[in-house]
Amino acid sequence: MRQPASVAATLERTDMSEEDEFELEPIEILELPLDAWHRDKGARMVEFAGYHMPIQYEGIMAEHLWTRENAGLFDVSHMGQLMLTGDGGAEALEALVPGDISALKEGKMRYSLLLDEDGGILDDMMITAVPMGLYVVVNGAVKWDDMGHLRENLPDEITINNMEDRALLALQGPKAVDALLRVVPGVDALYFMEAGSFFWGPKTDPEPLWVSRSGYTGEDGFEISVPATHAQKLADQLCAQPEVKPIGLGARDSLRLEAGLPLYGHDMTPDVEPVEANAAFAISKRRRTEGGFAGAERILDALANGPARKLIGLSVEGKLPVREGALVFAGAAQVGVITSGGFAPSVGAPIAMGYVDAAYQAIGTALEAEVRGKRVPVTVAKLPFIPHHYHRKGGSI
């Protein structure tokens, strides 16, 4: 059973006598390569996914709106950057995820889901075909579990390299391309879900970067893998651009919620499968026909017949935020539970996501959420709450 990465202590058995005593031993909280940089910028730091992370600098609302209108720089170096190498790696990975990985061409990316044997979601991930094999980005809170699961279930011939010597920065917002182009020439050639190697720095001694046109805010943007030793220099250069400010975890969460993007450990867990998690798009066409992935029977049945519950969006009446864990009711009957919620600065009102029973999923369905013993009116809303602005071939959205 997976334990939440935010737990700050672990039980360790210290005495095997009849008393069978336990004592708490603190878990070490790690530092990001840019830890001192964040603190110098005035960041408020919190523990998240086993790291000290910046939650905000000047304020969540201001940072959120700046990113929607300009460009925000996020430090996501807590996430796992893995390199899978070895013959047949893509085909072997397909036994664990529902995506068509073997069809990926070099420089192309795919969002996918790591599944347990019953089809429950162990993590969501980004998979990119690179010359060496597959570059995989996984969530920081479960990256060690992911690596263990991959090692246990992939053939021994597949090597899994945890790229701990690299930082990961995300530059997000409508003006991200303008800012990044001045620092890293050529990145404007990428479209959404494409990636490549680019050179940054003086022509006499350029540094290679791995850049993808992707992110988790609903805006156009990039994720940049850089050697940890050079992360501060790159962050300084990006923040020197007039469009860019450093942005914390708080705004990252409100941005992804407005974009209707699930957060692993909250909207996605091993207790749900992809169809009920509103992630059926991650099941590629070929895999729907052929199956052959973990939990395929359960997942393909849900595709054919519909799930008993599903992740949906909810607009909230009034100003009181509806938070994770709040129960959802239709009259006296409990019909769901909130998994993410909060105030949405770009919407100007509270919003939420959660699971509700099949009979209550239609857009416009009136329900209630219970907050501190009080019923708050909520309405099933279309996801995303605001349009995505990805830079796709043939159009921006």
Per-residue pLDDT at 28 = 82
Distance (Å, whole) CA 357 – CA 312: 10
Beta-carbon contacts of 68 under 8 Å, excluding residues fewer than 6 positions away, are 173, 174, 219, 255, 345, 346
Per-residue pLDDT at 11 = 26
Q: Specify the amino acid at residue 369.
A: A
Give 27's DSSP letter: P
Question: Closest Cα to residue 3, out of 268, 265, 263?
Answer: 265
Q: Is residue 2 classed as helix, strand or coil in its secondary structure? A: coil
Q: Which domains does the chain have, with CATH numbers?
A: 9-15+26-79+165-257 (3.30.1360.120), 308-397 (2.40.30.110)
Per-residue pLDDT at 201 = 86
Placement of tokens 């501060």 in the chain? 232
SS (H, E, C) 87-147: CCHHHHHCCCCCCCCCCCCCCEEEEEEEECCCCCEEEEEEEEEECCEEEEEECHHHHHHHH
Per-residue pLDDT at 63 = 98
Take residue 144 and report the two structure tokens written for it. Answer: 């060690």
Instruction: Specify the pTM.
Output: 0.91
Question: Closest Cα to residue 145, out of 50, 226, 223, 11?
Answer: 50
- For residues 140 and 4, is the Cβ–Cβ distance under 8 A? no
Distance (Å, whole) CA 96 – CA 361: 29
- For residues 37 and 17, is the Cβ–Cβ distance under 8 A? no
Angle at 291 between CA 91 and CA 282, to 5 degrees: 80
Distance (Å, whole) CA 160 – CA 84: 5
Distance (Å, whole) CA 19 – CA 64: 52
Distance (Å, whole) CA 326 – CA 336: 9
DSSP 138-185: E-GGGHHHHHHHHHHHS-TTSEEEE-TTEEEEEEESTTHHHHHHHHST
Where do the H-state alpha helices sit in the chain? 35-40, 60-69, 89-93, 143-153, 176-183, 231-239, 249-258, 285-290, 296-305
Q: Show the low-confidence residues of the chain (pLDDT under 50).
A: 1-22, 24, 396-397
Distance (Å, whole) CA 72 – CA 246: 6
Chain centroid to CA 288:
24
Per-residue pLDDT at 395 = 65
Q: Specify the amino acid at residue 277.
A: A
